[in-house]
Structures are given as C-alpha cells and as structure tokens.
Homo-oligomer: A and B are copies of this chain.
Amino acid sequence: MSEPWTLHPDRALPADPTVRGIAREVYAATKDLPIVSMHGHVPVEWFTQDTSFGDPAQLFVVPDHYLTRMLVSQGETLPRLGVGSTPDEAVETDPREIWRRFCAGWKHFRGTPTRYWLEHAFVEIFGVTQRPSAETADAIYDQVAARIAEPGFRPRALLDTFGIEVIATTDPAWSSLEDHTRLAKDGFGERVLPTFRPDPLLHLDRATWRDEIALLGDAAGTDVTSYAAYLDALRTQRQKFVEAGARATDHGHLWADTTPLDDAEAVRIFDAALAGTVTADEARVFSGHMLFQMAAMSAEDGLVMQLHPGVLRDHASAPFQAFGPDKGYDIPVVTEFTHSLRPVLDAFGHHPNFRMLAFTVDEDVYSRELGPLAGVYPALKLGAPWWFLDAPEAMRRFRESATETAGFSNMSGFVDDTRAFCSIPARHDLARRIDAGYLARLVAEHRLELDEAVDTAVDLAYRSALASYPRP
C-alpha cells in the first residue's frame, strides 16, 4: 500500500506505455471541461434548500444502493447500515457505527466502479489520506464530517467546485415544479433542469396507480376520468415541464415494447383500470402503447425521449416490503429492441422533431440491435453505458461493441444517472479516462489520427452531451 493514499494521475488509463502516452494527450483535452449532467437523480430539494449534507453515513452509505447491496451480499443487513424504519428491525442510528461497518467492508469493493468513485471523492473532495479499513474508519469519519460542515460543501457551492455547467433532476409527471421555479428566481434556471418521468402513471396495475392519477389530475387541473382526459393531462404537464426548461422525458419500463393499440382498445383497458379490473397482460400492452404515445408527444413538443428498459425491480419481496424500492434488488433481464422499437422508429424515426436515447443493461444488444439501429435512424442515439455498466471494463466494451456499427456520432455523450452527488465528478472523470484510452488505442493502431481522437473525446465528454438534449 502506498502511503499516503493518493490518486495516480494515470489511473484508469491503459497500461501499455505507447497507448498511455497518447491517452494522456487525449485526456488532457477533456479533463477540465465543464460537466454536463443531463440525466441524473439528485433531489431538486438539495438545490432549493442548499443545506449541509448531514453526516458521512447519510452522505455516502445509507442512500447509495451500490454500497449497501455489496455489504448486504457479504452478510451485513440494511438496518445495520441505517436503512429502514420498520418497528421490528433495529435500525442503526449512530452514523459512526454505520461508517465503521462500511470501512470494514472496503475490501469487497475491489474491482468495482464504486471503489473508483469513492476513492476519487475521498481524496479529491474530502482530502482523505488513508485507505478505509476498520482501523482508519474513525479518522476518516472525522475528516469527512468536518469537511461536510463547511459552507463550501453545500450543494450550490459544489456545482461550482465540481464544474457542473448544467444538471437535470428527475421529477414526477405530476410535479408542480415549484422547486425549479424557485431555482429560476435564484438564477439557477438554466443550470438545474427538470425531467419529466411518468412511469407510475403508465403502468395501470401498480398499487399506487390511482394515487398517481389523482396527483396528475390535481397538477393538470382536470379530472382524469377517461383515457382522453389522461392523455390531455399528460400533454398539459409535459408543456409545463417544457416551460420550466426541461429537455427530456425519462422512461423505465421492463420491456422496450412500443406497440400502439387502436384507440378503442386503449380506452377499454384504461376504463378497466379505473374500474379496478385491469389484468397484468392488459397493463403490459398498455404500457407499450403509452411509450408510443409518449414518442408521439415528443415529436410534437420536442422533449427528448429517454428509454432505459430491462430491469426487474424489487427482485426480493421481503426487503421490498420492509424497506421499499431502490434498495439494490433491481436485476436486469434480457431486453429486445429490434422488434420492440420498430413501431416508434417506423413512425417517428425520421421525424425532424423526434429524438430518442436508448439505454440498456443488456450488453448483447450493443452490436446486435442498438448499434445497427442508431447507425441508421436519425432520431435514435445510443445512450451511454448505464447503471451496472457505468464501470471501466463495461464502458470499454461499450465503445468496442457499439462504435463499429453506430459510430461516435450516434452516441449520446456521457450521462451519470446518479443520486450520489459527490460521485458526479468521479463518474465523469472515469468516463473521460476510459474514452481517452479507447481512442488512444485507435490512434496507436493507426485507425484514427490524434487530432480526430481529441476532437471525438471532446464530443463525447461535452459537446454531444449537450447536443443530445437540445432545447425543445
């Protein structure tokens, strides 16, 4: 172990000296570019309230399902890591205890992106100089806690520190967007943008669907008592998002299916949902139908349609019942795009006002489906490696598998997709390093000139990331 703990300037660059030398040149061109974070999950309240992040456990451990899932896999429990509120579980309330458990499990993060992100944040942002372990836990806790308390560590200040030019939050379709209104008044209207996320409204058989519909009706100022009123309310809310500066919608479905129903069938199923008699199959085909409707509305209002299908949520029922969703039990499944996207692409794939970004956690589709599709349809771009694939080896595979059919010009630029605010600089930095390494190899193999590699790197890190989300 090197002492003191530092970040090597060449980390995550290729080992080969020739390639590394070129990679350094490419990375130098993107290293200090502003961060464009157009697809993320940082709560908008952080920016409106702009208060301190609490303690190190609340900042780093409790809300980060990447961290807690790995520790759970090694025998910890969510309550011992501060997660949960059920009466029969002894939820740990001492942040220092939670922090100790996390540091004691540091070994288990070897080889994972979490390790890279944490290391980056600890050293670069919090000035930590010791490798986490049972022995160093308390000292690191104190160091991080002291830094969190400083005024410069509040969310708005960190936007500057991190060099974030623009960041998008994700907001329910029925949001009043009052936080974004307040941010606009404070001069952050161009910097913190909302994103329209209607998932719970599009899945008729979810337990919360009626509550969501009521919220949508309230927001849109209509009674959603018919399919027509439902479409109207969605259209109304989308328009409010556009006016509040939104650039995109965000759709997380189990399937990528986009097959439209005829109107009568859509009405029939919607009415069945209102009557509480909808079946799982009906809800499934209706969710595909609604993706088609969302695409149609995007072609009207210009919001970029972000689709990231293929994750089975809440795989384990007991943790879901005890602790709720998003606790690390979301698992990918095989995802089909060629047939599934055909209705939307056939209808809008050449529409001048329609743009779709498709993300996947099923790598097989890079070279087989999404690369070839993005390589011909002007409306479709391939989203950056997402979720479990936002990792060094997986990002490298993405470039290697998708570029040859899609080209760099049909890729979205990097998105971080995270609620872990302090990991944002690390995530962008890692992506830029991996891209530099990939491009450097192309140069070293004489398949690209150096000036082209630098130009492409700047595209991927910054220009494409902005251009993929044009103002509607």
Contact = CB atoms under 8 A, between A and B. Distances in A.
Interface of A: 1-2, 7-8, 10-19, 69-70, 72-75, 107-113, 115-116, 131, 312, 315-318, 328-334, 336, 338-339, 342, 345-346, 349-350, 361-364, 367-369, 371-378, 380, 388-389, 391-394, 397, 399-401, 403-410, 441-442, 444-449, 451-452, 455-456
B444 A111 contact: no
Copy total for this chain? 3
Given A315-B345, A346-B318, A12 B447 contact: yes
Contacts of A336: 333-334
26 contacts: A1-B449, A2-B449, A8-B446, A10-B445, A11-B446, A12-B446, A69-B376, A72-B376, A73-B377, A73-B409, A74-B410, A108-B407, A111-B399, A111-B404, A315-B338, A316-B345, A316-B346, A318-B346, A332-B372, A333-B368, A334-B364, A362-B364, A363-B367, A388-B405, A392-B404, A397-B400
Contacts of A363: 364, 367-368
A8 B450 CA distance: 14
Contacts of A391: 404-405
Contacts of A8: 446
Contact of A367 (B12, B74, B388): B388
Residue picked from A75, A376, A377, A442, most chain B C-beta under 10 Å: A376
A108 B409 contact: yes
A304 B107 CA distance: 24
Nearest 4 A-B pairs (CB), nearest first? A15-B444, A11-B446, A8-B446, A391-B404
Contacts of A377: 73, 316
Nearest to A451: B1
A448 B404 contact: no
Given A14-B445, A73-B377, 19 more contacts: A1-B451, A7-B446, A15-B18, A17-B18, A70-B407, A73-B374, A75-B378, A108-B407, A109-B407, A110-B407, A111-B447, A312-B339, A331-B372, A332-B338, A334-B336, A334-B364, A391-B405, A394-B401, A394-B404
Residue picked from A107, A328, A441, most chain B C-beta under 10 Å: A107
Contacts of A329: 376
A399 to B, nearest CB: 8
Contacts of A116: 447
A306 B441 CA distance: 35
Contact of A112 (B69, B332, B392, B405): B405
A338 B346 contact: no
A326 to B, nearest CB: 12
Contacts of A312: 338-339
B328 A333 contact: no
B378 A404 contact: no
A80 to B, nearest CB: 13
A110 B448 contact: yes
Contacts of A362: 364, 368
Contact of A369 (B317, B333, B378): B333
A409 B114 CA distance: 14
A404 B331 CA distance: 14
B410 A73 contact: yes
Given A110-B408, A368-B362, A447 B11 contact: yes
A406 B113 CA distance: 11
Nearest to A19: B15
A368 B361 contact: yes
Contacts of A447: 11-12, 111, 115-116, 392
A455 B110 CA distance: 11
A112 B403 contact: yes
Contacts of A345: 315-316
A403 B393 CA distance: 9
Contacts of A448: 110-111
